[in-house]
Amino acid sequence: MRYIIIGAGAVGGTIGGRLAEGGHEVVLVARGAHHDALRTGGLRLTTPEGTRTHQLPVIQSPDELDGPLRPDDVLILSVKTQDSTAALDLWSARPVAGGGTAGELLPLVCAQNGVESERLALRRFLRVYAMCVWLPATHTEPGAVSAAATPVSGMLHVGQYPSGADDTARAIAADLEKSRFLAPVAPDVMRWKYAKLLSNLANAIEAVSGVIDGDEAKSLLGRALAEGRAALTAAGIEAASPAEQAAARDGRITLAPLDGAERGGGSSWQSLSRGTGTIEADYLNGEIALLGRLHGVPTPVNDALQRVANTFARERRPAGSLPVAELAAMVDAR
């Protein structure tokens, strides 16, 4: 299979680089300065084993492919959810050699935070797969990504959307397992994605106020999580338990310093650090707000975190620049 990584940032770049190291054919899709750096200097992937440069095909759109899509192509969507619709529209109608379109024939894997992209994809693709991404990776410099986990780079549960597991899911998982990932095939993959959604409620706090290590930040996160669990319960949605998640990872993955430097923040912090002008809070804290409104559960903490994170992104304010006491006061005022 050939893997086309739509969004070769922290997650997509690490997956693409590791697949290439595993001997698989990979095409990277990127934009702007990152695209230019990948084209001229290759993908610089730093892991605890060191830094390697991968010279891989890099494109900005399917028009730049050398010919039509192939029947053995696998599309891995790893853009932020706010960019999913544009990417799905761009790729779904592309012809596949021998007849048909990508939306009709090819598997599309949503390797993203949140739970909305699968729904967006299923409107355009017949074969949608969900991937729960636990992959501590960083992308703040064009052309470079780093992943600090060892001895594997992360855990990627994969399964059919909305549920199930087929030969394609098993083949993708097998390729990932050969490429320095743990990749359980999960017929209930959305349980894992909803559990990850709860953990990602921390992203907005970290993005605007920095590392969550004090009592005030932990208390704020606890309130956001309580709202999240209440909203999922009211909606009848089951998430993998903390014990299940710990059992899957504990003793199998650890984090190691890279080049003597500590890893930066998570995906939302990285978006603010790069000054992208957007952030995924609408699909993390905003997903809890949506479920709360649908099922009569108040979510004032997540409402406020969503609003503040969006303001930071829109105004391109520096990541981590709002003292957590001020953030908590803004949440309480809300």
Give tens-digit pLDDT for 15-60. Answer: 999 999 999 999 999 999 999 999 999 999 999 999 999 999 999 9
pLDDT of residue 142: 94
pLDDT of residue 257: 80
Closest to 91 (Cα-Cα) out of 81, 102, 100, 82? 102
pLDDT of residue 130: 98
**Going by C-beta distance under 8 Å and a sequence separation of 6 or more, which residues neighbour residue 315?**
none
Q: What global pTM score does this model have?
A: 0.95
The HSE-up count of residue 215 (CA atoms within 13 Å, CB side) is 0
> Taking residues 224-248, what's their average pLDDT?
96
User: At what angle are helices 324-333 and 202-209 packed, to 10 degrees?
Assistant: 130
> Taking residues 200-225, what's their average pLDDT?
95
pLDDT > 60? residue 261: no
Task: Return the CA Rg of the chain.
Answer: 19
Q: How many residues does the chain have?
A: 334
Q: How confident is the model at residue 199 (pLDDT cuts 50, 70, 90)?
A: very high
Give tens-digit pLDDT for 141-182. Answer: 999 999 999 999 999 999 999 999 999 999 999 999 999 999
